[in-house]
Structure formats: structure tokens, C-alpha cells
Chain A
Amino acid sequence: MTATAPASPPAFCNNLHYNQKQKPGMISFLSSTSSSALSSSEFLGLFLPSPNSKRSKSRWCVHGQTSLVFPRAEIGKEKKVDEDDKQPSVSITLDDVNPVGLGRRSRQIFDEVWRKFSELGQISRTRTDESLDTVLIREGPMCEFSIPGAQNTTVLVVGTTSRIGRVVVRKLMLRGYNVKALVRKAEQEVLDMLPRSVEIVIGDVGEPSSLKTAVEGCNKIIYCATARSTITGDLNRVDHQGVYNVTKAFQDYNNRLAQLRAGKSSKSKLLLAKFKSAESLKGWEVRKGTYFQDVVAAKYDGGMDAKFEFTETGNAVFSGYVFTRGGYVELSKKLSLPLGRTLDRYDGLVLSFGGNGRSFVLILEAGPSADTTQSKMYFARISTKVGFCRVRVPFSSFRPVKPDDPPLDPFLVHTLTVRFEPRRQKPTEGPMGTKQDLRSFKLILEYIKALPSGQETDFILVSCTGLGIEPSRREQVLKAKKAGEDSLRRSGLGYTIVRPGPLQEEPGGQRALIFDQGNRISQGISCADVADICVKALHDSTARNKSFDVCYEYVAEKGKELYELVAHLPDKANNYLTPALSVLEKNT
């Protein structure tokens, strides 16, 4: 538009300038470069053939560098002014008598009227209009798929080419999420499978370094990758190590992000104790005791001893033996949390242990720290493996020693105790065989951390139930999957582990689903239903820190029904997931 303005000499403009008012169809310029125009403070009227009938009604004012398009309401007003003017004033401009202009204008009016008129004579049709689309069709509020907050959530989908992953990506796109897809190679075949606006990141779950960029900017992760074969190496790489690598990359990213804000990530674990030097053993005291306070104890006193020391190899070792019946030894410390931190913002403990595979009792003392006599004791039994392992103990699994006491309130916890007792020890499998004496123990402590709590799940892992896998490889597959699940649980991320029955490729939402814990399912499930569960679980607080099996409901043959069907039919309209999951146990 600006380019045409200087082309009109002022003299020509004066000729044209019969009327002060501007007519629709003229484009006015307020040219700051031409001084004559500015001094007379008049607009330069100029004829321009308007290519579009609608366009001609709106005016462009070019003022310096800023161009301003009038909002719609103003245009309407101006149009009215023009119409008002037309009736009383008889002043005729060149524009008015120009037959071409007249014809064009009359045609515009006629077209508009005709359009509306002919619309009446039709079966209702929608004009596809961008502004309507944004409200009705895309992720607008009128779209049945839209989820509030989806636009601000970035989800990384690992395994986008899997049967479940493909549907997950589509479902996320429909709901307006920002989706990142992790692919190994950006092959055209793979890219064609994914919606176009998905952000593609190249990486391999087996390569920790390649995941760094993938997790950047992500809020949540859905992991539905699975090993291509049942070769142990493959299984380990994808189902076990892959999960570990992704959780680690994600946690690292969260921590880095938190450091930028000079704080701690709400998803990072809280270190309660780390045993890496001799000083770190300070404050831990070893105690002995028996459950029997009477003569019985003395009668069966076989002796017991325990010590907690820092060895030359750099390990903190708690070891000893308990031969006394009903006796125990324990290692205890008063917890000192960093300033401003309380355990109520945490979900449980994760302990890194090594040793000879005995089981221990964790005891938490809770109560006002000023008055230890009011403390209440809570216990949870943990078992370790030979060698090193990490154990996750959610606070919800602690039970009061006195059954009448209220459930554990993590806020009040002040003392942590690890107790060994020879009761209920199971011999560990391995080379030691039956020769081992279950009354002696060795425990190498590495660290004790608290797992953060949160509202929503951060990481959804699609695992499997083992059904439908060829029997000879089932054990290996399950072992890898289980290891992957465990590494996720210990990561501190809010997790949801979905274990679907054998996958079937059919549309979802057709049959009722059963949610269960405890490996009792027998039916298959459609990939689309699993995908729907994943997407729904993203914002469902009941899904946090849960593992569950899911499959189609078993439909008995007619006449053989044993029970009434009370399962959850998946659909977008009903939120089947919350009621289904709320009855399931947490931290599984």
C-alpha cells in the first residue's frame, strides 16, 4: 500500500478532492513523509481498484512505520456514518458517477444479499471459517476433546511407533498437548506415521547421552517402547535400562531446572543419610534388646552383638549376630532434616543397601520431638537381596506397633531405626545354600533418601502382564519389565505403571475394562484403550504411584453368568479411570 502512495502527485489529488468524506472503496493514506499532506491535515483521497469486496471496507492508515488495522466495531461505525451522510448530502464525487465503481459496488451489495438469500434456500451448511474453527474445532473450548491445561503441558512419548504409542500420540494431539516424540532414526516412513506438528527428537533409550535433549522442556513422559525381540540383551536395553535412562535424564533435567531457580526440584529426592565417610556414621547408635522383658529372655540368652563401622574399602557396614531368642539389634538415628523441609511433602523412603540378603524392620518414631515419651512407633518390614539393591518403602506401608495408634504422620517423624531380628528370616537363594546361619547378618548402607510426593503422575510406563508371551521367554521378559518398573519406582518421579493384557488391534471404547492388582487377569485389551488410560492418567491424582493390570472384562457365555458386570466402560464422556483406580492400592 505504501508503495502506491507517493505515486500520486498532489495536483491530481486536488482534482479528485471534491469531498472531505471518504468513501468506502478508497484507501486513505496519512503519509508522514509528504509534508504537504501533513500541513493541510487532510487525507489524500486516492482511487484504488479494490480486489476484494470485503477488504474495501476496512482502511489502512500508514503512520510512520506503524500500521494499524481498525477493529471490527469501528469499521461498523464508520460504515454507518457513511450511510447517514449519503442520504442528506447531494454532493457527488467522481467515485459516485464512475460507472465501473458503481457497478462494482452494486455487485458487492448484490453478492452479499444473494449469498444470504441463497443460504436460506439450502439445507444448513457451515461456512468454514478460521475464527469459528478455533472455538469449535481445534483445541477450542467447544471441542469435546479439549483438556484444560493441555496446551501448557509437553509430553514426551517414548516408543511412538509402537501399537500403543501411535494412538497415544494422536490422542495427545487431539487434546491439544505439546507432544515430543522420541524416535531412533528420522526415517520418512516413521515421520509419515506421526502427526505433522509433533516435535521429533532423535535418540535411543539405550543411549543416556542421546536422551538429554529429548527430555528438555517436558512435563510428563509416557513410555510405551518395548523390546523388538525377546533376546535378553534387547530386553535389558529397552525394558530395563531404557526406563532407567529416561527417568534419570528426566530427573537430571528437573534438577537442572530447579538449580536455575536456585531451589530444589519438587521431584527430586531428599537425602536423609549418606554413608560415604567415617564422619557420616556419627549420630547412629547401635542398640540391643529383646521382645521378652521377663525371665524367658534370660533363659534363652544365646548372646548377641552388633557393630556399625566404616571399613577400609569405604563401606559403612552394620553387622553382627543375634542368638538370643526374641532378641534384636538395631541401628538408630535422630533425623535432622534440612531447614524448612518436613517429611510430609514426601511419599516414602528409598534405601540403598548391600549385604547378605536378610530382611530387616524399619521403624519410624513419630511424635512431638520435644517430648519423646509421647512418640509412637511405626514399622515396616523390608527384605534385601544378596548384593546391592535399592528398596522403596512408602510411608503408607508403615503400620503402628500399637494397633490403636493413628496411622503414621510423616510430618512428626523424628527417629529412624533399622532393626535386625532372627525371626521370619528366609534363607536366600544362591551358592550359600542351606549352610547359612540366619541369625547373623551383614548390611552395607549406602544412602537413605525420601521420595517426594506430588499431585499428578510424571511418568507413565506401559509394562505387561506376561500373558500372551511365548512361555519359554516369559520369565526373561517379565524380569526385564519388572526391573524397569522398579527403577522407575525408585526414581522419585510420580509413576503410573499400566500392565495391559495381550494387546489387540481394534478400536477402543467398546468393551468394559477391569482394573486389578495381583496378576489375575485373563483377557486381552485393545491398544486404543491402553492409550486412553495413559492419556487420562496424566492428570489423574488417583493414578499417581500406582501399578495395575488392565484387561477387557470377561464376558461369560449366555446363561453362565456368575456375577453382575460392574466394570468401567471407557469413554471420553465418563471419567472411568478415577473410580477404577481409587480403590486400588498405592505404591505398588
Chain B
Amino acid sequence: MALRCSSLPTKVEVATPHHLHYFHTKSYSHRLASLCWRRTLSQDDIFSAAASSLSAPLQPSSSQDRSCIPLRVKCSASTAAAINLAPGTPVRPTSILVVGATGTLGRQVVRRALDEGYDVRCLVRPRPAPADFLRDWGATVVNADLSKPETIPATLVGIHTVIDCATGRPEEPIKTVDWEGKVALIQCAKAMGIQKYVFFSIHNCDKHPEVPLMEIKYCTEKFLEESGLTYIVIRLCGFMQALIGQYAVPILEEKSVWGTDAPTRIAYMDTQDIARLTFIALRNEKINKRLLTFAGPRAWTTQEVITLCERLAGQDANVTTVPVSVLKFTRQLTRFFQWTNDVADRLAFSEVLTSDTVFSVPMTETYNLLGVDQKDIVTLEKYLQDYFTNILKKLKDLKAQSKQTDFYI
């Protein structure tokens, strides 16, 4: 494991009007072409740019250190055909493709879409245990991998709208899916005449270029903007569903809960609400090519969430508080080594935590724009209360059951 001082992700200003930040790292330098969204679409002819750029920026990345199959001409050939057919074959406006359908938000989006009468296709990575629940609900599942661009075009045939709620898993390198995959997807969408592209981003992603995920999200936003697609970017703050696994379950199981003393506040939102608002936005022609931010009704610190969980669960949590400085230090430390670089990326959010940011926005304007009543948005208190009453009831039932089985043994 070679020490790579030079691989420190330093901020480098590239001469773009948007003040974009790119990773100027040695290992990633060959991908600079692909990271630069401007270069790929600088040609005048957008169609040819999209078609040709599909293979252009991705080739270096796939030809080098990764075991990706090199991109074939097949991709651009099929896109050319799609362009020719575009005026003659109208796609039904109810046909949508959801990318990242197995995720926390993705599955809610799929469910909402199915209920509203859309024909939903889900782009799912080939895996040994396929996402059965999606097919149980009535969605069509197609296998493709964003990190293998040649698998993408086939999934876009006959699709009107793409909803992109994918984010790479924590254990995989952040750039494979979140940047290269997304670029390929957007270019492909453009080339195949997708009529609307919904992209989920992170709130404040423009303010934290030091966090790789946020940086990538921001670059993707910009890339999408320049692509010429009709798009909607929705920035999100935090999911209530995530709190269950992080705090509620450990508290109920009397395990230790880890929290930070960070003063950061996050306005958590129910993913079911996010999905609902997304579809309202999707159908509103006025929102095309705009950036929306969805935030929950109130911003919470970690400590407040834990206190709330304790109160609702009726038991004290075994809290281990990790000072943010420790997190930050660990990140600094891990950044020095190549083999811990992914770890550093993962800890990058600690930079945000120390910055005393509030992840929230006033929502009144958005509500008005979408015609949504604020009362219909679930609050965290209500959400967690629902969870605890349900789970406590379930535990009681389980206990009664286990007593029964004791009797028979």
C-alpha cells in the first residue's frame, strides 16, 4: 500500500463559469474527462454530441483500471436509431423508468407510481437475490448496471420519464455509480429522446465540494442542466426511514446508539411524502427545468432525535457520543492512505457536520407551487410515534406467541 500524499483530494478551480470543483487526483486524473460535464456537451449539435460522447468520455475510465467491458459502438448505433424513430413512435406518458428502485426512496417512488397508474420499469442490478417485491407490486424489472454503460440503452426503450433515485452503496467506490454511471445514463437518456428526467440530489450539495458525494451530485445537476434534457432536480435533506435503523431499532434492542455532538440540524422527511410530491412536480409543466428542495417540517439534531426516540420507546438509550472532532480527525487520517481512501470518502460528511449547517429550507413556496397542504406532510413526531406504537404492539404479540411455544416444549 503505497502512501500517496499526492492523492489528497485538493480543490482545483477549473475555468468554468460555475466554479466547479473537480478531484485533481492522480488516480482519478484519467477520469477528468468524464468528470468535466462541459467538455462532453460542448459541441453545437446536441444529438451528435450526446451520441458520440456516450462512448467518448467513458472509454478511458473503462479501459484502464477497471474490469469493465469496453464500450461498444452498439450504444451509439442504437441511439441513432432511436432518434430516427423519435417522431414516429410516441411513447405513452405513463411509462416511467425508476433507477435505484430497491433503495429507501426508490421503492416508495415505485409504489406511488404504480398506484397512480404508471407503468413502471425498474432498473435493477443483476444480483443473486432479485428484487422480488418490485415484481410483486406489479412493476417490471430489467437488469442493468450503471457501471456498465452498454447495458443502459435497452432499458430506456419506450420510456417517457426517467426517475433517478440511485446512489451507490456505501461499500462501493463512490464514483462508479454516482458519477460515471449517471453520466452514461443522462447521455443515453438524451440520445434516446427521454422526455423528462427527474434527479434526486442532496440539499446544500453546492456548498460542500469537499464531500465527494455532494460534489458528484452537484456536478451531475450541472451536467443534467447542460444536457438539454427536460429535467427536474429535487434536493433532499434526510429520510425519516433512515432514523429507524439508526436510532429506533437499537434503542428498542437496548443496544448502544452512536450519536455525535454535532449541532447540525436536518429536516427529515418521510420518503412517502417525497414520492408523492415528486409525482405532483413531475406532472406540473411549470416545474420543468427547475430545482426544488424538499425538506421536512422541522430540522432536528441527532440529540433531539435520540431524546424523542427514548421518550416514545419508554426506555433510555445507551448513547455513545462521538465528538465530531474525532470523526474529522479520522477522516483526515484515512485520507493519507490509498487503501483507506474509500473510508475517507465515507466519512466525508463529518465535514458537513462540523460546519453547523441547517439542512432545511422554508417550504411554503414549494407547497404553493405544487398545491400541497402543509398539514398533509408527516412530521417526525408523528412518524416515530406510529413506528413505536406499531412495533411495541408487534413485540407484545411476539412475546405472547413465544410463551405459547414455551408451553409446548
Contacts and interface: CB of A to CB of B under 8 A. Distances in A.
A116 B260 CA distance: 11
Interface centre among A125, A510, A527 (most CB of B within 10 A): A125
A121 B391 contact: no
A124 B239 contact: yes
B243 A124 contact: yes
Contact of A129 (B239, B245, B256, B266): B245
Interface stretch (B65-73, B108-116, B360-368): B108-116
A572 B272 CA distance: 12
B232 to A, nearest CB: 15
A395 to B, nearest CB: 38
Given A118-B343, A135-B391, A507 B116 contact: yes
Contacts of A66: 409
Given A124-B246, A197-B136, 19 more contacts: A117-B322, A118-B347, A119-B258, A120-B260, A123-B202, A123-B238, A124-B238, A124-B266, A125-B170, A127-B245, A129-B245, A133-B133, A135-B391, A140-B390, A142-B390, A170-B137, A174-B137, A507-B117, A508-B117
Interface string B377-409: 000000000110011001000000010000001
A527 B115 contact: no
A122 B138 contact: no
Contacts of A72: 253
Contact of A142 (B213, B346, B387, B409): B387
Contacts of B93: 505-507
Interface stretch (A188-196, A320-328, A329-337, A444-452): A188-196
Q: Is the interface of B mostly helix, strand, loop or mixed?
A: helix
Interface string A59-72: 00000001010011
Contact of B111 (A119, A174, A510): A174
B258 A573 contact: no
A531 interface: yes
Given A135-B390, A507-B117, A120 B136 contact: no
B102 interface: yes
A68 B244 contact: no
A68 B135 CA distance: 34
A40 interface: no
Contacts of A508: 116-117
Contacts of A145: 111, 115
B346 A195 contact: no
A69 to B, nearest CB: 11
A13 interface: no
B173 to A, nearest CB: 15
Given A121-B347, A135-B391, A173 B239 contact: no
Shortest Cβ-Cβ A-B pairs, 10 listed: A528-B117, A121-B347, A170-B138, A124-B242, A195-B138, A126-B104, A116-B258, A507-B116, A196-B135, A141-B390
Interface string B254-272: 1010111000001010001
A127 B247 CA distance: 12
8 contacts: A119-B246, A122-B347, A126-B104, A135-B394, A137-B133, A171-B114, A197-B136, A527-B117
Interface of A: 66, 68, 71-72, 76, 116-129, 132-133, 135-138, 140-142, 144-145, 166-167, 169-171, 173-174, 192, 194-197, 505-510, 526-529, 531-532, 572-573
Size bracket, chain B contacts? 35 or more
A128 B170 CA distance: 12
B349 interface: yes
Given A126-B104, A132-B245, A194 B138 contact: yes
B244 A132 contact: yes
Contacts of B346: 118, 121-122
Contact of B239 (A76, A122, A126, A526): A126
A62 to B, nearest CB: 14
B279 interface: yes
A136 B115 contact: no
Nearest to A570: B116
Q: Of residues B117, B241, B246, B350, which shows the largest number of chain A Cβ atoms within 10 Å of its Cβ?
A: B117
Contacts of B350: 120-121
Nearest to B359: A123
A133 B249 CA distance: 13
Interface in B141-194: 170
B39 interface: no
B402 A123 contact: no
Nearest to A121: B347
A505 B349 CA distance: 44
